Amino acid sequence: MNKNDIEQIIRKEIVEAVMKTQDFLIIGNWKMQKTKQEVKSFLKDIASHDFGQKNKIIIAPPSPYLYLFEEKLRYSNVLYGAQNFYPKESGAFTGEVSVDMLQDFGCKYAIVGHSERRTIFGECNEFISKKVRILIQKNITPILCIGENLNQRKNEDYKHFLATQISEGLQRISQDDVSKVIIAYEPIWAIGTGETASPSQVEELHIYLRKFLVERYGSNIGKDIPLLYGGSVKPSNVKELALAQSVSGFLIGGASLDAKSFIEINNILN
Ligand code: PGA
């Protein structure tokens, strides 16, 4: 047996040990996709599937389908959340959905600050921080997304940009409430492009973010805030990415649309 073979065996053992012990958050972000019929058939497949007790499974469908999630996942341990809402309880806000409505349909999570909301709909850190605050007030877990574009990536300062997205996004909640937030690092250049960040790029960034969280919010809170990775995650790359230090789970777009590949991702991480 040569040195390479031995290294591969050791690596395989490490992979298996990590997979067995670490529990992951697996969050599907469907974006603006699927028909009612497709949603029903997906829910039929996952409602009867045993995802096991180790990982936490969450799906964020388009809002009009939330009633189906409430109805079909009543006896399942799959949780669900919203992709968007307006940070007011009710009122004259034509076209918007409130956090109270999300609660009404049993949402336990909501995505905020996704790069598509920032770039297409002009949401800034200030507005995002209002969304985070109302979610905390209503006991819904915010999944705060941060991420740099390719131009920013070329600039040394992009890590600072990401840290600012966190601190400004969380500026309206107390230090204690910061522990209730999930953070998802999603480099914009890796979203929907098929180009995933490499495990070493993810690890470097997650270590940086973990240090920032500990320094900014104290070690008790900062060390436990879940840090997800998102951007072209799929069954073929999730195992390597899961090994990167400080990765607590994944925010998955494209590969969460198909029940089979979503289930496969959980199987790999189980
Ligand atoms: P993707 O999307 O997995 O299709 O790249 C991820 C996301 O935007 O949350």
DSSP state letter for 197 = P
Is 114 a catalytic site residue? Answer: yes
DSSP state letter for 114 = -
The 10s digit of each residue's pLDDT in 27-58 is 999 999 999 999 999 999 999 899 999 999 99
C-beta atoms surrounding 157 within 10 Å: 10
User: Are 241 and 196 contacting, i.e. CB atoms less than 8 angstroms apart?
Assistant: yes
Catalytic member of 114, 116, 148, 206: 114
Is 160 a catalytic site residue? Answer: no
Q: Which of 262, 238, 259 is nearest to 19 (CA)?
A: 238
Residue among 188, 233, 262 whose CB has most ligand 1 atoms within 8 A, to mutate: 233
Distance 174 CA to ligand 1 centre (A): 29
- Read off the pLDDT band of 75 (50, 70, 90): confident
- Stated pTM of the model: 0.93
Return the higher-pLDDT residue of 197 and 228.
228
- Classify the C-alpha dihedral 190-195-197-199 as positive or negative: positive
Average pLDDT, the chain: 93
Q: How far apart are CA 248 and CA 135, in angstroms?
A: 21
Q: How far apart are CA 222 and CA 208, in angstroms?
A: 12
Q: How far apart are CA 236 and CA 242, in angstroms?
A: 12
Residue among 27, 29, 112, 188 whose CB has most ligand 1 atoms within 8 A, to mutate: 29
| Predicted local distance difference test score (pLDDT) of residue 191 | 87
Give, using CA atoms, the residue closest to atom 3 of ligand 1. Answer: 253
For residue 11, pLDDT over 80 is answered with no
C-beta atoms surrounding 21 within 10 Å: 8
